[in-house]
Amino acid sequence: AWRKWKDAIVSHIKDAKGFEFDRSDWDDASFTEGDRQLLSVLFQDAQDAYAGFRKHNTASDYKS
């Protein structure tokens, strides 16, 4: 489950896809229901963290 999460995160970063994830990112028949639930939570956490970063970065006076 962790490798699937990491690979999806890296792919979204490399391809500049942003951090919008959908069920296809974690719904894998080879995983148990518990793994799918864990991945769902991890992807939601990643989305929330990125949204918080974007909000903070936009509000900040510092621009890179």
Count CB-CB contacts under 10 A for residue 31: 15
Q: Residue 13: which pLDDT band, with cuts at 50, 70 and 90?
A: confident
| Contact by Cβ (8 Å): 6, 40 | no
| Contact by Cβ (8 Å): 34, 1 | no
**Higher pLDDT among residues 57 and 8, named by residue:** 8
Q: Enter the pTM of the model.
A: 0.74
Query: Residue 35 pLDDT more than 70?
Result: yes
Query: Residue 23 pLDDT more than 90?
Result: no
Domain ranges of the chain: 2-46
Kindly state the percentage of the chain with pLDDT values over 70: 91
Report CA torsion sign: 33, 35, 41, 43: negative
Residues near 28 by beta carbon (within 8 Å), at least 6 away in sequence: 4, 35, 36
**Higher pLDDT among residues 41 and 24, named by residue:** 41
